[in-house]
Every structure is written in C-alpha cells, then in structure tokens.
Amino acid sequence: MGKIIWLASYPKSGNTWIRAFLANLFADSEQLVGINALDRFCHSLTSRAPFDVVAGRPTSEMSPYEVLQLRDKVQRALCETFSESVFLKTHSRFGSQFGLPLIAPDCTAGAIYIVRDPIDVAASAANHYGVSAKDMVQHMADPDFRTAPSDKHVTEFIGSWSDNVASWTTPPHPKIRVLRYEDVFASPETVYAELVAFLGLKPTSEQMDRALRYSQFAALAEQERLMGFKERPAHAPAFFRRGRPGEGRETLDPELIGSIIAAHGRQMERFGYLANGAT
C-alpha cells in the first residue's frame, strides 16, 4: 500500500509549475509530458470520480457534508490502489472541516507546499476565477473560502491565504518541503536540486536538465497557446499568464495592496514578502 505525497498550495501559487517539473522528471523520456497529461501523473483530490466510486453512487446527488464524510475514505482508497507513494494535488488547507479531517495524516508520506506573495496571488487569481481584484482580496481574507462544487469536482476547503499557508508550514515539519514561488522563478536549478534531494531521488544531470527545460514557464505557456489547457477556466484568456514576481504591486490599486498586507502581514513577513518595507 502506498502513501500520499501532497503537492499543496493556495490557488495560483505555482502548483502546476511544480507538477510539470516532477512529471517530466519521473517520465524520464525525451518526449515531454504535456500539460494536458499532468493529471495522469498527479491526481487531484477535487476530482469527483473517486468520490463516486467510494460512494457507489453519483455524489452530485449528495449534500456537501455527505461528500466531506467520504474524503478520508477516498484518500485511503487511493493509497490502496498504488503500491508506492503517489502525488496528489490539493489547494485545501491542512486541518478539519465540521470536525472531519481534510488531510488524512496516516495516509500521508509527506508534502511539498508552494507559497507565493499574496499580492501576486490576488492579481493572478482574480483573472483565474473571473472576479474583480477587490473581490479576490476579500476571498483571500475569508477563513471560509471554498470552491463551488461542479459536475466534475467536489468542494475544496481553501480558507484564507494566511490560514492556508500557516496550516501547512507552522510549525515546520521535516516531511514538508516549503518552496517559495519567487525562488523557483529566480533559481530553478538550485530549488529543484534541493527538492529532488528531499524526495530521495538521484536523477542524472541529463534527466534534470530535460525536466527543467520542459517545465520552464515560457514552455508551459507556449504549450497552452498551441494546444490549449483543460484546466483553464472558460472565462480566463490563459492559465499561464506572465508568472513574473512583482506583477501585483505594479497592477493592483495601492489600497488593495494595503488591505492584503493588513490581513496577511504576519505570514508575509515569515516568507520575506515585506523585506523591502512594502506597505
């Protein structure tokens, strides 16, 4: 029986970017793993299909609480399906909802958590969810923020940006590797070398170079331009937009930036997002 290695983050923090690197590293092939095949490498806990299997009937007919009660069983079923550890994507905070655990500790081998400057998250997520920047900033401060269920996806309990970050990173845990989006952008070779060491992998330099090349942000954006990306919301012009750190400070209204810092200053300071005296 395998266990789960979580790829966790608040939405629009680089989760798909990390998935692309790992998928291409594990594939060990000269043929790239396309962005529309990433879900074959790393499943998502929001997918309704495994919930339907565990329930033995369509969960779209069930209440949100009934679906939540299946969450632990779904994680266990996934572990039993694989003989080795499996990567599972989530934007859920670590903790419980209505007294039920969101992440099953005894099914978990470890986690990779990606954190990104919430000012940049706000700019990117507003585009992704099709809401105004002001509304997105309010969502990011909402401890009850969650996604709406759909035909293909169950509700994901995200929480506020600060709650999500703190739940996975406080206190530090030896089995949770925390990556800053900005460090991946600036020094991918260094960050990914540390990541593969954390996972106990020993790829060749050729394998690393290929995975790095295939997972460059520009390469992912070009794939989306040529082939589309099934994870792109219908209302969003693109899933991979710019990816450049600092965009939020350039585009968001100063009042909104102030609101983000007021709501999330404590966690921002932990990760160096107020290091330059930003206010």
Mean pLDDT for the stretch of residues 121-132: 89
Q: Which residue has the higher pLDDT, 228 or 126?
A: 126
Measured between alpha carbons, how far is 12 from 119 in angstroms, rounded to an integer? Answer: 11
pLDDT of residue 221: 73
Q: Is residue 159 within 8 Å of residue 144, measured between CB atoms?
A: yes
Tens digit of each residue's pLDDT (9 = 90 or more) over 195-215: 999 999 999 999 999 999 988
User: Residue 278 above 60 pLDDT?
Assistant: no
H/E stretch holding 192 reads: helix 188-198
Look at the chain and count its residues: 279
So where are the chain's domains? 4-117+143-236
Which of 76-80, 107-111, 232-236 reaches the highest mean pLDDT?
107-111
Distance CA 5, CA 197 (A): 15
| Residue 42 predicted with pLDDT over 80 | yes
Architecture of the domain defined by 4-117+143-236: 3-Layer(aba) Sandwich (3.40)
Tokens 């082939």 belong to 227
Contact 33, 23 (CB under 8 A): yes
Above 90 in pLDDT, residue 237?
no
Q: Average pLDDT in the 254-274 region?
A: 97
pLDDT given at position 128: 78
| pTM for the predicted model, two decimal places | 0.91
Task: Name 56's Cβ contacts closer than 8 Å, sequence gap at least 6.
Answer: none
SS3 of 240-255: the string is CCCCCCCHHHHHCCHH
Token digits for 260? 């983000």
Banded model confidence at residue 226, pLDDT cuts 50, 70, 90: low
- pLDDT given for residue 277 in this prediction: 44
Q: Rounded CA gap, 36 and 150, in Å? A: 20
pLDDT given at position 81: 85
Of 244 and 184, the one with more pLDDT: 184
* Per-residue model confidence (pLDDT) at position 195: 96
Q: What is the pLDDT averaged over residues 92-98?
A: 95
Segment 60-87, tens digit of pLDDT = 999 989 999 999 999 999 888 887 888 9
Q: How deeply is 247 buried, as exposed, middle or buried, from its count of CB atoms within 10 A (0-12, 13-18, 19+)?
A: middle
